[in-house]
Structure 1
């Protein structure tokens, strides 16, 4: 195992952790989940369960005879949305294909511990929630240079997810890496800043009203994902959409003072930006549209932009009414660079492939079918731990 070294998104990839979907059974509908995915949960009572059931005095949907009952959260019992086993099987097959492709390109692939089938719930003094496997590894860990930072989660079911990465992190620590855990939030209902969700024009989910009080309430807390960051050598562009994010970036700025510069962009999206903008090499950005670039720090506005066509509907599988869609149709912009010339792209996206090939990239098509059901693309499913790049100054 090499020494931890990851400063950017594009230099030669040497080692990477690829996620696991083993024992993924359901999504749990509760406040933190709905806030996180609010941009893509369809606003329809018959299509998806609502955060609160009509006429239930703000009781969560599912806390009754007509809904599946999940673990009790800070706001009471919750609704579970089961995932069909065939989707999990196909996802697992596709993940193994991603890992095999990376190995064929000379990349060392590491894996987290699998989620044990008997582990069905995570519990804290303030709440309990169903647990999910370590699939979207980019979210709860931020690697900056020679330091691993476990970030404070935004979804309750993922609270202890990084525990399944402990063997990997411990090996890098033994090789000299720094290893830090940011403050863990209590995550009561009062911990969440719902302002972005409530102010989204035509937002698909109902506003969050009347959060339940708890003896553990402390007000807004740090909550933040590594996928809110674009790493550019010694500079990190960070999306900030809520008070939760802002508190976390305050912490990062103090912790990394003198080592990294953080550049805040406000409300580029609700949270993650790796389906909005990715740096494919110095001077070149893959962006959803040109308006995204206008919100970036001024030096990045001079970089070349690759803007692919709007994704075609037939690029995606057709799902049934009870299948929960968690991402926008732009999820496949979530590509993974192996080096400055080579990019892993979903094989189902011929328009994006052609666009990148015209920009003189070598595209490696890889099958990933159910990205909209599991909330992640190639960048989400991976955590690059060793790249050749260093703390270069790309922004001046």
Structure 2
């Protein structure tokens, strides 16, 4: 039986008992498009050529991905969670990407929902088109505040001055160029606020995030100005030159228990934040297994860390990630397997496909 929350938005951790959530859908998704230097900074090399305008994902893949999402939704409902779903959008006609990954575009902080300032132009109307009706319903609760992203006047301003932008690209002949990413040189500049919500995770009154190829310092400053009073935003020093979203880099399972990806962040970097001084921090000790079918068009094997917590014990994991499930079981968690490999193919996993609206006791 689904329990109806007192307020429509109230969440400030990733692990407290879940009561309501938005879950996306995969139908009609297309490959996202961005300047070639951005694609090279963030996407697997073998799939560069797929990121061109109005290129649909294979229909059979999307059908299977949507079936996986429906199974995930049923798991949530079986656990008493109220689930909101976005409206259907023809992303081919709109020149957009997907409604499958709402976590990239929305973050809930207390009673506030904040829309991301997307760096990628193809995503600028994603929340407006797919999720505006849900946001309007949430705003009927007088305590709920929705902060919508500012309109972008000059999308290419984010790339001006970036090395290689405006040069001819060797892969597909387009003018927009290549870009070698270094430790302090990302695929965007600081011309305007830019951030993806998936570059941030909530730890009570502290939000932990990263600078990345889609999140700049002005984006961090914007988020700091938008969160409710009493919340802070702190940045983690990551070593991933391809950084784009933090939810396959660190994984808080419950209060004071966190797994991290040792290829992207160090224990020392985590402990620089006062928040983690008394946390149990575990480097995931295994290498993710390779996979060719279905292809990981947009992600690496580290997506296995992109799970979704129902509470401080239960965590939904990809059914094929048996080694990972056994690992977190030994840490006292209860993994709930759900097939999700076709959703993985279009750019994310359980955490990406959700926006948790109410978590009890946060």
- The TM-score with structure 1 as length reference comes to 0.76
SS at match of 1:120: helix
Matched, 1:294 2:287: no
Structure number, greater radius of gyration: 1
Q: Shift of the alpha carbon at 1:79?
A: 4.6
Distance 1:362 1:184, change over 3 A: same
SS at 2:41 equivalent:
coil
Alpha-carbon deviation of 1:253? Answer: 2.0
C-alpha contact 1:114 1:133 (8 A) present in aligned 2: no
Alignment partner, residue 157 of structure 2: 190
SS of the equivalent of 1:271 reads coil
Counterpart CA distance in 2 for 1:223 and 1:266 is 18
Correspondence for 1:168 among 131, 134, 147: 134
Match of 2:101 in 1: 136
Give distance in 1, aligned partners of 2:141 and 2:164: 42
* Unaligned residue ranges in structure 2 (runs of 5+): 166-170, 181-188
For residues 45-124 of structure 1, the aligned pairs below 5 Å read 48-49=48-49, 79-115=53-89, 117=90, 120-122=92-94
CA gap of 1:223–1:187, structure 2 versus 1, over 3 A, is farther
Q: CA deviation at 1:196?
A: 10
1:36/1:154 contact within 8 Å kept: no
Tell me the equivalent position of 1:236.
207
State the alpha-carbon separation in 2 of the partners of residues 312 and 263 from structure 1: 32
The answer for the alignment partner of 2:38 in structure 1 is 35
Instruction: Name the CA distance, whole Å, in 2 between partners of 1:353 and 1:80.
Output: 37
Shift of 1:383: 0.5
1:306 aligned to 275, 282, 291, which one? 282
Distance in 2 of aligned mates of 1:83 and 1:242:
23
Q: Distance in 2 between matches of 1:195 and 1:328?
A: 25
Q: For the Cα contact (< 8 Å) 1:274–1:379, is it kept in 2?
A: yes
* Alignment gaps of 5+ in structure 1: 52-77, 123-129, 199-203, 210-217, 391-396
* Alignment coverage as a number of residue pairs: 332
Residue 354 and residue 257 in structure 1: after superposition, are their counterparts in 2 closer, same or farther (change >3 A)?
Answer: closer
Would you say the 8 A contact 1:193–1:242 is kept in 2? no
RMSD across aligned positions (CA): 2.9
What's the TM-score once normalised by structure 2's chain length? 0.82
| Residue 146 of structure 1, aligned match among 101, 104, 111 | 111
Pick from 1, 18, 35 the counterpart of residue 23 of structure 2.
18
CA distance 1:93–1:50, change in 2 (3 Å): closer
Give per-residue Cα distances to partners, 1:189-247, cap 9 Å, x unaligned.
2323786999xxxxx997249xxxxxxxx972111111111101111111113695210
How far 1:151 moved relative to its partner? 1.3
For 1:304 and 1:183, locate their aligned partners in 2 and report how far apart those are by CA, in whole Å: 39
Query: What SS class does the counterpart of residue 88 from structure 2 fall into?
Result: coil
Conserved in 1, the CA contact under 8 Å of 2:318 and 2:340? Answer: yes
Residue 14 (structure 2) aligns with: 9
Give, in whole Å, the separation in 2 of the partners of 1:41 and 1:110. 32
Distance 1:98 1:196 in 2: 42
Q: Quick check: 2:112–2:228 contact (8 Å CA) kept in 1?
A: no
Runs of 4 or more consecutive aligned structure 1 residues displaced over 6 Å after TM superposition: none
Determine the C-alpha separation between the residues in 1 that align with 2:161 and 2:211. Answer: 13
